[in-house]
Amino acid sequence: MNLNLLSTLLLALGFAAGASVAAEFTTETRVYKKVGDRELHLHIEKPAAWKAADQRPAIVFFFGGGWVGGTPTQFQGQSEYLATRGMVGIRVEYRVIPKGDEGPPVVCCNDAKSAMRWVRARAAELGIDPQRIAAGGGSAGGHLAAFVGLVEGQDDPADDLKISPKTSALVLFNPVFDNGPDGGWGAKRVGDRFKEFSPAHNVTAAAPPAIIFLGSKDALIGVPVLERFKANMTKAGARCETHIYEGQAHGFFNQDPYKTATLIEADKFLASLGWLKGDPTLAMPELDPNAPAPAKAAKKKKKAAAQ
């Protein structure tokens, strides 16, 4: 076990100016699975006052990258912030689809369920309430978070299937959670097997409460796809809260001010479930849908300086 105790860590999380938070927490890295010679890790953020006897809520984050790339650092800021709010934040390293493989994200789904089972099986030593484990993620990671919450199957044969991988809440950032032929993403990979992988096609009354963030100009998951998912959740009797950000494209939540804005709304959602207490400790930034994306703004500023 690789254990890094950061006993007194003051961290500026890199959110919007004036909205950063001084955080004290610990970080631990654990191996949750071994595939051949490769070890797969979980990066765990714990509140400063954490004790093994705690029964804290937890959130398990899955990174995005089209099922073919990405790293667990994507949700480091979110995980660390929620640790300062009393949760245990967990970031998953999972296998991506091998280069040249044009098929479904089987290994990704296998690892996602293995990670959830590992966390639930060790809830007592992690100081976690096994009935309050959320899953979060963005894009393809949002698919995996929704997948463990809604879809049966695609289990790793080595897993203990008696342990449930189900999540108790979903926090989804522009998730590619509809993989069907009607406006879904990844339909070519899953083909006519889309019901085996698509969370949107597996909504039932047992679906966990969800909050979803989407940009109005997302080219991968359109607003109508999100609205259809919400309608199906509502029809099934499941809570589904949606936030659409005008003028924003896919991946908008990775940069401020939207990184902070979506995290604040996620905080409020988790508080509404009784998992967090008090108001968010971040300040809501001003959102301007007409402002260029941070990368474009920096490029424009650099070009102007050169003239």
Backbone angles phi, psi at 47, to 5 degrees: -60, 155
Q: Following DSSP, what letter does each residue of 284-300 receive, concatenated?
A: PPP--TTSPPHHHHHHH
Please give the Cα distance from 206 to 231 (Å, whole number): 15
Please give the Cα distance from 72 to 42 (Å, whole number): 9
The CA distances from residue 135 to 60, 115, 169, in Å, are 5, 11, 6
The CA distances from residue 4 to 47, 83, 118, in Å, are 14, 15, 20
Q: Following DSSP, what letter does each residue of 122-185 receive, concatenated?
A: THHHHTEEEEEEEEEEETHHHHHHHHHHH------TTS-TTS----SEEEEES-----STTT-S
The CA distances from residue 204 to 161, 182, 242, in Å, are 21, 19, 18
From first to last of its 307 residues, what are the pLDDT tens digits of the chain? 444 433 323 333 444 433 444 447 899 999 999 999 999 999 999 999 999 999 999 999 999 999 999 999 999 999 999 999 999 999 999 999 999 999 999 999 999 999 999 999 999 999 999 999 999 999 999 999 999 999 999 999 999 999 999 999 999 999 999 999 999 999 999 999 999 999 999 999 999 999 999 999 999 999 999 999 999 999 999 999 999 999 999 999 999 999 999 999 999 999 999 999 999 999 999 998 776 655 444 444 333 333 2
Please give the Cα distance from 193 to 221 (Å, whole number): 19
The domains of the chain, with CATH numbers, are 2-306 (3.40.50.1820)
Q: pTM of the prediction?
A: 0.88
Q: Which residues pair with 137 in a beta bridge?
A: 62, 172
